[in-house]
């Protein structure tokens, strides 16, 4: 009885889900869920160029917001920025407030890192229209690598060739990542291509569809000590043969010279 109730509950839930999709209400629910009202509180920035160095010393990071209008120079607390970047990455929209007033939907577009300290020194945010598709870089995550039949018995290892792809989708329909099931790789002749990715509904692949994402890489050939010794012996033998040939040629040349001298004297 208990399992019957659960079965019908899931069945009804599935039917309701289809209704929501038909009425576009499920999309609205997903939007609200993905947004989770992540708001980055910023202030207007009045420093530029080298002057921004003083901001960073005080724990303030300069940022820019552009697209769908004029570019705006802003600044934000370093700790708050780091926390926000960890939550949203490059694929989750967030709101930016300026002075606690305006709120604009944006996506992280570029993060500049200091080459020595590895600290964030600048971030660009792109304004987005939630109803218009936009290109975004989506990371690829390999799954079940150990379960790939092609790796059994040390036949090879799973190798990743592409780490992200470009997709076209509405901001709230951009996947945070795309997973690849490597358990389908049965031998060295099999590849997983970009066109094999399972994209969510509404997302379109922009990257090269024939790009190789994953395959089985055969192990490197390891030369044993015995093989190295055998190779060295062959090399030494070849050198001795060459020396013998040189001595034979020298002897032949000497004999020819002697014969020539005898003929001349005769």
Phi-psi category of residue 49: left, alpha or beta, with phi > 0 → left and psi -120 to 50 → alpha: left
Please, what are the domains in the chain?
Answer: 1-33 (no CATH), 36-127 (2.40.240.10), 134-217 (2.170.120.20)
Q: For residue 211, give the nearest of 176, 177, 163 by alpha carbon.
A: 163
Tally of CB atoms within 10 A around 20:
15
Given this model, what pLDDT does residue 226 score? 62
Given this model, what pLDDT does residue 167 score? 97
Mean pLDDT of the chain: 79
**Prediction pTM value:** 0.65
Given this model, what pLDDT does residue 208 score? 96
Report residue 161 as tokens: 């060739």
- In this prediction, residue 7 has a pLDDT band, given cuts at 50, 70 and 90, of very low
Question: Is pLDDT above 60 for 261?
Answer: no
Given this model, what pLDDT does residue 182 score? 94
Q: For residue 108, give the nearest of 174, 17, 195, 45 by alpha carbon.
A: 174
């Amino acid at each position: 009885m208990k399992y019957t109730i659960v079965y019908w509950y899931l069945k009804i839930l599935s039917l309701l889900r289809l209704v929501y999709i038909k009425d576009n209400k499920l999309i609205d629910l997903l939007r609200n869920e993905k947004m989770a009202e992540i708001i980055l509180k910023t202030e207007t920035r009045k420093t530029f160029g080298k002057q921004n160095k003083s901001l960073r010393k005080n724990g303030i990071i300069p940022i820019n917001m552009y697209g769908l209008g004029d570019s705006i120079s802003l600044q934000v607390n370093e700790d708050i920025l780091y926390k926000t970047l960890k939550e949203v990455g490059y694929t989750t929209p967030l709101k930016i407030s300026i002075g606690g007033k305006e709120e604009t939907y944006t996506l992280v577009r570029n993060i500049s890192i200091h080459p020595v300290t590895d600290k964030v020194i600048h971030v660009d945010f792109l304004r987005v229209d939630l109803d218009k598709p936009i290109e975004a870089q989506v990371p690829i995550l390999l799954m079940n690598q150990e379960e790939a039949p092609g790796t059994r018995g040390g036949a090879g290892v799973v190798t990743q060739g592409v780490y992200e792809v470009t997709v076209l989708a509405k901001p709230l329909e951009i996947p945070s990542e795309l997973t690849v099931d490597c358990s389908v790789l049965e031998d060295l002749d099999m590849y997983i291509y970009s066109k094999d990715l399972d994209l969510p509904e509404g997302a379109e692949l922009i990257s090269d569809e024939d790009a190789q994402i994953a395959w089985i890489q055969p192990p490197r050939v390891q030369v044993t000590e015995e093989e190295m010794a055998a190779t060295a012996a062959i090399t030494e033998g070849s050198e001795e043969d060459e020396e013998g040939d040189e001595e034979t040629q020298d002897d032949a040349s000497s004999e020819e010279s002697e014969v020539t001298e005898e003929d001349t004297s005769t």
